[in-house]
Amino acid sequence: MKKKILAAAAMLGAVLMAATGCAGGAGTAGGGGGGDDVITVGFAQTGSESGWRAANTESMKEAFSEENGFDLVFNAADNKQEAQIAAVRNFINQGVDAIVIAPITVDGWDDVLTEAKDAGIPVILEDRTVSASDDLYASWVGLDFEQEGKTAGEWVKENFDGKGANLVVLEGTTGSSAALDRATGFDAAIEGTDITVMDSQTGDFTRDGGKKVMEGYLQKYGSDIDVLFAHNDDMGLGALDAIKAAGLVPGQDIQIVTIDAVKDGMTALANGEFNFIVECNPLLGEQAAELVKKVLAGEEVEKATIVEDQSFTQEQAKEVLDSRPY
């Protein structure tokens, strides 16, 4: 329930209880049963499509915990945009205090964000962004996807320009800001090289998707493929199965560059199956929770907060693997 309505209800309740001598907790409806200082937050997560998503969900649940003063209403939309929009509409109808969204795709958000604004419920975006006007959300915290794609492209250029290399791409979820911006950055970085992009299709950020699309690539192009760029580790990990099944050696016959740097990806990098990974930090929970508290307290907040990333070679992965937080 909205804090301000709850505060008035709690106040009235307290006055009535004092007047009539009634005992009992002043737990407020719609919250975690605590007093009126509990912040009820609806979090609309994309789903559980990848290792990155699991780490992001864990970070968000840790930050929006009861001991931190929150009552979290969590929804995972199974990577379906219409389900995620329906979840946000539900949060509005429940009268939550704030809404956090990791938007599956950039488009389709104007109506429901306008409804949240009209209902006086602030929206914070975490991870991906939307094409809607930025007056429809209070703030966004996430990563520079275009730079991630550029860093991956610069590695490919440095290692393959001038060799007439053939490259295939496993794209992330169609219409997601992560996939769109990574492609923009990558394409800009390899512009003007003699690297040929033979094919580029979506694997929807999943292992299964990456495996299926890579199987198709291998049937069509076989050993002509020199390099694979996967928009995330999970699709690259799925592609490993296909590459091995085709009798080729990943990391050697086909060199692989991915984005995320989750544990399984870094393990593949350390053991030589991947060749380069650009990190995409999923630990956004603390910053998202701080933004919610500041916005509800009426404090000024930055419209955009970008979290720093790094990148890893095979040698660097061996050094840091055991100390990685996710």
Residues that bind ligand GZL (CB under 6 A): 49-50, 52-53, 127-128, 143, 178, 205, 232, 234, 259-260, 280
Least distance in Å: CB of 75 to ligand GZL? 16
Q: Which residue is nearest to ligand GZL (CB)?
A: 52
Judged by beta carbon, residue 50 or residue 202, the one nearer ligand GZL is 50
Nearer to ligand GZL, 203 or 250 (CB): 203
Identify which of 173, 148, 110 has the alpha carbon closest to the alpha carbon of residue 258.
148
Q: Report which secondary-structure segment, H or E, holds 182.
A: helix 177-190
- As measured in angstroms, the least distance from the Cβ of 128 to ligand GZL is 5
Query: What sign does the dihedral 274-280-281-284 (CA atoms) show?
Result: negative
Task: In angstroms, give the least distance from the CB of 268 to ligand GZL.
Answer: 14
Query: Which one, 40 or 81, has the nearer CB to ligand GZL?
Result: 81
Nearest approach, Cβ of residue 272 and ligand GZL (Å) = 22
* Cβ at position 35, least distance to ligand GZL in Å: 35
Nearer residue to ligand GZL within complex by CB, 102 or 112:
102
Output 40 or 202, the one with its CB closest to ligand GZL: 202
CB of 117 or CB of 263, closer to ligand GZL? 263
Distances (CA, A) of 11 to 3, 14, 27, 133: 12, 5, 12, 37
Q: Which of 147, 185, 179, 242 is nearest to 49 (CA)?
A: 179
Show contacts of 268-275: CB within 8 Å, 24+ apart: 268/233, 268/236, 268/237, 268/240, 269/312, 269/313, 269/314, 269/317, 270/314, 270/317, 270/318, 270/321, 272/314, 273/240, 274/233, 274/236, 274/250, 274/314, 275/159, 275/251, 275/313, 275/314
Question: Residue with structure tokens 């094919």?
Answer: 199
Query: Which regions of 172-282 does DSSP assign to beta strands (E)?
Result: 196-202, 227-230, 255-260, 276-279
Given the complex with ligand GZL, which of 78 and 135 has the nearer CB atom? 78
**Cβ of residue 206: shortest distance to ligand GZL, in angstroms?**
8
Residue with tokens 């809404």: 99
**Closest distance of CB 117 from ligand GZL, Å:** 24
Q: Please, what is the end-to-end C-alpha distance for the chain in angstroms? A: 33
239 or 259: whose CB is closer to ligand GZL? 259
State the minimum distance, in angstroms, from the CB of residue 223 to ligand GZL.
28
* Integer Cα distance of 295 and 219 in angstroms: 53
